Chain A
Amino acid sequence: MKLTNLTTSFAVAAIGTLLTGVILVAENQWAVIGALLAAAALSIVLARLKIGMVLASVLNESSAWVALLIPLGGVIIGFALHEEDFVLMMLATVLIYGLACVGLTIQFGYAGVINFAGAAFFGIGGYTAALLGEWGIPSLLIIVAGGMVAAAIGCILILPVLRTKGHYAALITIAFGLLFRSFLEVNHTLGGPQGLKVEGASVAGHSLLDGIQLGSFQASFYLNYVLLALGVFTICFILARNLEKSWIGVNFDAVREDPIGASVFGVNVAYWRIMAFVIGNFVIGLAGAIFAMMQNFIAPSNFTFSDSLIMLSIIVLGGLGNLWAILPAAILVVVMPEKLQEIGEFRILVFAVLVVLVLRFRPSGLFPRALRKFRREVAQ
């Protein structure tokens, strides 16, 4: 049992790495379409044979260190393509968006707290990085500060979010997202519509703008950001996974599924909704700070309502509440439009149609979340 689980996990990771690599390097868009079709066919076959659910539960029940297959795959791709600026930037972008989606998953996938202002909290992280970068504060601290400021500003919304439900709660975050964007546009200290320059990150005195050099090995500086994003993503992924498989995760689910039923069994519904909202915004803020450092430049147009929609689309396309589905969905949403230049102009249209079709015909997403079972914990 254990061995097959291990083999399966490795197989999934290997296939994932391979497909990601192919999609990333494919120059010819027919190759991209081919890889996407192959992935689509694979997922349909898996769904038909009910293997999809089995795979999801294998990944869900495997031990914590199976999550380390993600950085393993990421490092392999990163080093294999170490000279390709554009490819590495896309990989880093996928990881950063994926990180933000981990935060959204905690909020919406677990606790059911709706957040249509993901891009705003992402932007708060980014602007924090821009402002603090001028003071020569260590980059890792700035990233954490980005998360903390996003979480803190999010606290303004706690009361409205707690008091409203359903469509009304959705409006609160939509209004906040638009408000944030218009605020940035007109505020001159934050650069107005032109935005701000951001100091690049440096870790242990080594600027991430200098690519790694070891003898004849010369890497693009984007590899540094891939590694940084990969590290933060993996830590947050493992912690979010632990969160799901904990009493807190059980409470989140109870709050989402039936707040009244939960309150009768002693669950502090308001407390858990606040927790999910704050933790989620923290993670989204981390992602925003890394994004700003990598881009070296941020402007209000990076943090629009459409960007919030893209983040939500990633978690819904992948499968709401399934952490493992975030990266495949992020690749689909972030990389596909960049690669299909022929579609170029039409990419947002294509993307919108794709999301509509998935919601209409496969509402639980491409890789639905697996049931939480504490088999492994009980068996130990």
Chain B
Amino acid sequence: MAILFEYLFNGAVLGIMYALVAVGFTLFFGVLDIIKFSHGDVLTLGAFSGLVSFLALQSLGLDLPVVGLVVVLAAACIVTGAVGALIGQAFIIPMRNASGFNILLMTLMIGTGIREAIRLFYPNGANPKAFPALLPKTPIEIGGVFFRLDSIVLLGLGFGVILLTNWLIRHTKLGLAIRAVAQDGDTAQAMGIPFKTIVLATFALGSALAGIAGVMHGIYYSEINFSVGLLLGVIGFSAAVVGGLGSIWGAIIGGFTFAALQTLWVVVFPDASGYRDVFAFTAIIIAMTIWPTGIIAERYSERV
């Protein structure tokens, strides 16, 4: 029983990371109806910039517990936000009338470029890098079940960020503008909303979430690898799609669904844990067959 709770808890930590990535996909799709597949590699970039900022702090002798975490998160958010907006500015906005496939392929290639750049230009970038333990890994016992303190903090952090994002979208002027652009870009523009600025702000916001997810990933696994972005990107994309593109809560549900599928497999077939991704992706394909536009269906109409 105790082991089951541990599985559930670890699944929840994974789920919150996937959800953060998925929310980014859903935001981008909301404002421009595009899939920005470089998202996963932007996440890796976030984790690496967090790592660099930590090493800088360390060399200055400022690697204090809380300060370290804050600085690392801030560095990751700033870099990913800037890179996300830059990709939007340089490649996506100019191509918004191109076919969806072209944008998908192009952002996949931009992601490949980022991944390769990390591998080549980060010292010894091809090997996994140890990620600093910014949070204590002290085990905490609750009713006979052991939880890692850092995981509890990560879970809380993830939920906090998501609630903050939701508040931002629902209750601020920026959020109102984002929702207006998502409803209908042309009308929003006609109403005096600076379309391009809002789109770029959305890209920055979504990418910053990926930066946070990257740091969380690094802390949780204690290491970071240049190639994690591809799989995390696909998982985040799956989560966003299963939840119905364009819906924030759908993306969160999708993220937890994916983590739940992986965890479920490992719990039921511990000997064949290698097949957990095979199972999770099969389940996604089946889910998409049953609900072709996601479990929470995308608002969808075909003009004839």
Residues on B with beta carbons closer than 8 Å to the beta carbon of A374: none
Residues of A near any B CB (own CB < 8 A):
108, 114, 157, 159-160, 163-168, 170-172, 174-176, 178-179, 182-183, 185-186, 260, 305-306, 309, 312-313, 316, 345-346, 348-349, 352-353, 355-356, 359-360, 363
Contact status A352-B102, CB under 8 Å = no
Q: A165-B292, A167-B35, A348-B112 are in contact. Are A114 and B106 (CB under 8 A)?
A: no
CB distance from A207 to the nearest CB of B (A): 37
CB distance from A361 to the nearest CB of B (A): 10
A171-B284, A178-B231 given. 20 additional CB < 8 A pairs? Answer: A160-B289, A165-B292, A175-B234, A175-B284, A179-B278, A182-B274, A182-B275, A183-B275, A183-B278, A260-B302, A306-B112, A309-B109, A309-B112, A316-B102, A346-B116, A353-B109, A353-B113, A356-B91, A356-B113, A363-B98
12 pairs of residues in contact across A and B, judged by CB atoms under 8 Å: A160-B286, A164-B288, A167-B245, A175-B281, A182-B278, A185-B274, A312-B105, A316-B102, A349-B116, A359-B109, A360-B95, A363-B99
A178's partner among B91, B275, B281, B302 (CB-CB below 8 A) is B281
Interface residues on B, range: 35 or more
Distance between Cα atoms of A108 and B100 in the complex (Å): 13
Indicate the member of B105, B117, B282 with the most A CB atoms within 10 Å: B105
Chain A CB within 8 A of B44 CB? no
Contact status A159-B106, CB under 8 Å = no
Contact status B120-A170, CB under 8 Å = no
Chain A CB within 8 A of B277 CB? yes
Residues on A with beta carbons closer than 8 Å to the beta carbon of B293: 164, 168
CB distance from A121 to the nearest CB of B (A): 15
Distance between Cα atoms of A222 and B101 in the complex (Å): 37
Distance between Cα atoms of A136 and B17 in the complex (Å): 50
Chain A CB within 8 A of B80 CB? no
Identify the 8 closest CB pairs spanning chains A and B, nearest first. Answer: A186-B274, A179-B281, A349-B116, A352-B113, A160-B289, A352-B112, A175-B281, A359-B106
Interface residues of B in 221-274 (CB under 8 A from A): 230-231, 234, 237-238, 241, 245, 272, 274
Distance between Cα atoms of A235 and B97 in the complex (Å): 37
Considering only CB atoms, which chain A residue lies closest to B279 in the complex? A179
Contact status B91-A160, CB under 8 Å = no
Contact status B94-A360, CB under 8 Å = yes
B241's partner among A159, A171, A312 (CB-CB below 8 A) is A171
Indicate the member of B102, B245, B277, B285 with the most A CB atoms within 10 Å: B285
A179's partner among B29, B100, B277, B292 (CB-CB below 8 A) is B277
Residues on B with beta carbons closer than 8 Å to the beta carbon of A164: 288-289, 292-293
CB distance from B125 to the nearest CB of A (A): 11
Prevailing SS type, chain A contact patch = helix
Chain A CB within 8 A of B108 CB? yes
CB distance from B206 to the nearest CB of A (A): 16
Chain A CB within 8 A of B200 CB? no
Residues on A with beta carbons closer than 8 Å to the beta carbon of B110: 352, 356
CB distance from B208 to the nearest CB of A (A): 23
Q: A159-B289, A359-B105, A360-B106 are in contact. Are A176 and B281 (CB under 8 A)?
A: yes
Chain A CB within 8 A of B104 CB? yes
Considering only CB atoms, which chain A residue lies closest to B304 in the complex? A260
CB distance from A337 to the nearest CB of B (A): 12
Contact mask B114-142 → A, CB, 8 Å, 1/0?
Answer: 00110010000000000000000000000
Q: A167-B241, A170-B101, A186-B275 are in contact. Are A346 and B281 (CB under 8 A)?
A: no
CB distance from A263 to the nearest CB of B (A): 11
Contact status A309-B100, CB under 8 Å = no
Indicate the member of B98, B116, B237 with the most A CB atoms within 10 Å: B116
Contact status B116-A352, CB under 8 Å = yes
Residues on A with beta carbons closer than 8 Å to the beta carbon of B113: 349, 352-353, 356
Contact status A356-B238, CB under 8 Å = no
Residues on A with beta carbons closer than 8 Å to the beta carbon of B98: 359, 363
Contact status B116-A170, CB under 8 Å = no
Residues on A with beta carbons closer than 8 Å to the beta carbon of B285: 157, 160, 172, 175-176, 179
A171's partner among B100, B237, B272, B278 (CB-CB below 8 A) is B237
